[in-house]
Amino acid sequence: MAPWSTTRNAAGIGATALATALLISACGGGSTTTATPSSGGAAGGVSLVHPGKLTTCTNIPYEPFQFNQGGKVVGFDVDMVDLAAKKLGVTQDIVDIDFAAIKSGAALNARKCDVAAAGMTITDERKKNIDFSIPYFDATQALMAKKGSGVTSLDDVKAKGLKLGAQASTTGLDYVKGKGFDPVEFADSPKELLGLQTGQVDVIVQDLPVVLTWLKKPDIGAKFEQVANLDTGEQYGIGMKKGNTALAKVINDAITAAKSDGTYAAIYKKWFGTEPKTS
């Protein structure tokens, strides 16, 4: 995003193996598929996993990018993919799946989905496994701690000997590891937040918009605060199976059009409460 940001990053061989196992078994979410899907055509000669649907793999919850509300999955990423679905003349269907299977390309290669939209940072490592759209969101990380902790930086975390927590398979995790930390890893963002609330860790690193969304909740905002902003210079992209140039064109055109006609700004303000920065 503009004034804010976020990201998610990598795992390793173990995560990839887990991802593969998860794909073989099944995944909960907006749709479930057990049989091998047949390809379906859409506008622009785009081949889709399921006829009449643009199937999106994501990892829920990751508010405000994708989360359950009123019995349906909503969020910034959902609205962005809807723009491409509209261009294709189809509807969006959402599959909730482990993030490791998304960023590794396993879910796309197994034809679980056509695209991956999960607050996913574009990285050189991920580009080896999937193709990305043009960037649609500028991201950054933040530190969150109990009020009065005295923490204002990662240096403070180290100097005070505090326990740092991070979400597994994310760029936030990679960033702090690169700074010499060995954080406690949590499977997803809700578990990471719970880890902070229950004292398993003293400080957590997470995408800034996610932190700001948490702090809007009265019970959380009363006890915790954002203590630092980590400008990691990340950008989000929508992922696709490598070589899917027809779909990439549709998605890129949708993002470009939305940014030029005001639609992007409206979606941004809807979920973040502010206008996006203009470069």
3-state secondary structure 37-97: CCCEECHHHCEECECCEEEEEECCCECCCEEEECCEEECHHHHHHHHHHHHHCCEEEEEEC
pLDDT for residue 217: 96
Q: Which residues of 115-127 are buried (b: 16+ CB within 10 A; e: fewer)?
A: bbbbbbbbbeebe
pLDDT for residue 277: 82
CATH fold label, 141-233: D-Maltodextrin-Binding Protein; domain 2 (3.40.190)
Q: How far apart are CA 266 and CA 194, in angstroms?
A: 32
Phi and psi dihedrals of 165, rounded to 5? -115, 150
Q: Could you report the average pLDDT of every consecutive run of 10 residues in the chain (279 residues)?
A: 41 41 38 40 80 96 95 97 97 95 96 96 96 96 97 97 96 96 96 98 96 96 97 95 96 98 97 85
Q: Where are the domains of the chain?
A: 13-137+235-272, 141-233
pLDDT for residue 28: 36
Q: Which residues contact 155 (CB under 8 A, 6 or more apart)?
A: none
Domains 13-137+235-272 and 141-233 share a fold: yes
pLDDT for residue 72: 96
pLDDT for residue 37: 38
Q: Which residues contact 124 (CB under 8 A, 6 or more apart)?
A: none
Give percent helix, percent strand, percent coil of the chain, each to the nearest 5.
Answer: 35, 25, 40
The CATH homologous superfamily for domain 13-137+235-272 is: Periplasmic binding protein-like II (3.40.190.10)
